[in-house]
Amino acid sequence: MRYLSLMLLIASCGSRHDHQRELANCQLISKSGDELARCLIMKYNWGADSAGPAKTRFQWTLDSIRIEHEKQAAAVVAREQARLDSIAAVQHARQRTADRIDAEFWNCDGVYFIYFTEHGGQERRDSGRAVCLKARTAALQRAGLPVKALPEPEP
């Protein structure tokens, strides 16, 4: 009697081990809980009552992995968007600074143009423009901006 109990225990453990191996084999080739259940039933002759819980657990695992992956992907996208927004804000601020410096140049150039045209002629007007250009260059350098060609005059 003791031997019979021991034999049944060993047989059930061996069967359980085979079920685990069969389950692992089907999980490798399945993309959903339904595919897993179909594999277990067709390939290993599992009953629907045994395949059902395995199907549910496997689908839950797949759904959990997908949800976690989507969260991680959303976090990466959010970080990248924040980085791009920061870059755009810096570029916008630099452009505003450059535009302000250029506006100051055109204002300076206009003042020299009016004054020297009335009081000193073209040569003096050109020397006034050189003063404005020098101030513009210095302002761009202080702002850490490249010294670029003059923009077109404002209308």
pLDDT digits (tens, 9 = 90+) for 43-84: 999 999 999 999 999 999 999 999 999 999 999 999 999 999
Q: Could you tell me the pTM of the whole model? A: 0.55
Domain containing 53: what range? 2-142
Structure tokens at 116: 């020297």
15, part of any domain: yes
Distances (CA, A) of 79 to 83, 98, 152: 6, 29, 38
Residue 125 covered by a domain: yes
| CA–CA distance, 54 with 43 (Å, rounded to integer) | 15
Task: Return left, alpha or beta for 152; rule: phi > 0 is left, psi -120 to 50 is alpha, else beta.
Answer: beta
Domain count, the chain: 1
131 vs 133: CA distance, rounded Å:
5
Q: Is residue 150 within 8 Å of 130, Cβ to Cβ?
A: no
Q: Is residue 153 a part of any domain in this protein?
A: no
What pLDDT, in 10s, does the model give residues 86-139? Answer: 999 999 999 999 999 999 998 888 888 887 777 766 667 778 888 889 999 999
